């Protein structure tokens, strides 16, 4: 896929920055979801969008500080899940080396694991946050339904993007399933990050 084809797929102009690329990608990604695009071709379309997004994002020279939140927003409250984080070993020598889980952007979390291992961490985190409604491992998509307090029950869609650095990016978006104002994506991403960190703390790294 060349740059011109990628721009046509994402419907972005020449010179679009990382923020514009992410916004276009998330908007178009929702049109490929089986609930709104039933039938054949949704998975292939998702893969094309993912390839176009990653190609154009790689061409953007980002300021490592620009666009990142200056402070961590308070995550929104959500209903308690039935599953609780596993307790860490009491002996420090028995504890696994921690897996790095960091905020990269307002809607993106980075995990220092390859995509296949990250998917397992994301699934465990999703089960702690709510109910997994949709899973497409080949496209790196997981949708989880989360019941928030003082906010409508919402669909949180996460998309995994592997990087050559060995870090996998987890991009989050949120849509309400009924009327009402959803929590800001920054707060939801913080909630996802903290839950991912709880799960990742139980993962052994070599």
Residue 43's alpha-carbon distances to 15, 53, 135, 158, 169, in angstroms, are 28, 15, 11, 15, 20
Angle between helices 3-10 and 42-59 (to 10 degrees): 120
CA distance 119 to 133: 15
pLDDT value at residue 40? 58
% of the chain at pLDDT higher than 70: 73
**Residues facing residue 110 across a β-bridge:** 102, 169
On the question of pLDDT at 153 being above 80, the answer is yes
On the question of pLDDT at 30 being above 60, the answer is yes
CA distance 148 to 117: 28
Six-digit token string for 102: 């960091």
Q: How confident is the model at residue 82 (pLDDT cuts 50, 70, 90)?
A: very low
Comparing C-alpha atoms, which of 104, 99, 103, 93 is closest to residue 199?
99
CA distance 196 to 117: 12
Contact 22, 12 (CB under 8 A): no
3-59 maps to CATH 3.40.30.10: no
- As a three-state string, the secondary structure of 66-88 is CCCCCCCCCCCCECCCCCCCCCC
Q: How confident is the model at residue 101 (pLDDT cuts 50, 70, 90)?
A: very high
CA distance 158 to 144: 8
pLDDT value at residue 68? 43
On the question of pLDDT at 89 being above 70, the answer is no
CA distance 24 to 206: 37
CA 170 from centroid of its chain's CA atoms: 3
Task: Kindly list the domain boundaries of the chain, sorted by start residue.
Answer: 3-59, 92-200
Q: How confident is the model at residue 189 (pLDDT cuts 50, 70, 90)?
A: very high
pLDDT value at residue 59? 82
- Segment 32-58, tens digit of pLDDT: 655 555 555 666 777 787 778 778 877
Report domain 92-200's class: alpha beta
pLDDT value at residue 202? 79
Output the CA torsion sign for 59, 167, 83, 149: negative
């Amino acid at each position: 896929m060349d740059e011109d084809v990628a721009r046509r797929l994402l419907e972005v102009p020449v010179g679009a920055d990382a923020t514009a690329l992410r916004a276009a990608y998330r908007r178009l990604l929702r049109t490929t979801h089986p609930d709104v695009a039933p039938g054949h071709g949704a998975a292939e379309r998702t893969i094309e969008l993912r390839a176009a997004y990653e190609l154009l994002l790689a061409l953007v020279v980002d300021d490592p500080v620009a666009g990142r939140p200056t402070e961590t927003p308070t995550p929104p409250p959500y209903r308690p899940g039935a599953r609780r984080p596993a307790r860490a070993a009491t002996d420090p020598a028995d504890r696994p080396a921690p897996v790095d889980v960091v905020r990269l952007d307002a809607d993106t979390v980075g995990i220092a694991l390859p995509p296949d291992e990250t998917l397992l961490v994301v699934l465990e985190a999703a089960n702690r946050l709510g109910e997994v409604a949709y899973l497409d491992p080949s496209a790196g998509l997981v949708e989880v339904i989360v019941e928030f307090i003082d906010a409508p029950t919402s669909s949180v869609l996460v998309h995994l993007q592997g990087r050559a650095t060995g870090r996998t990016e987890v991009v989050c978006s949120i849509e309400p399933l009924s009327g009402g104002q959803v929590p800001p994506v920054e707060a939801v991403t913080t909630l996802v990050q903290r839950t991912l960190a709880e799960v990742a703390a139980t993962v052994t790294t070599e």
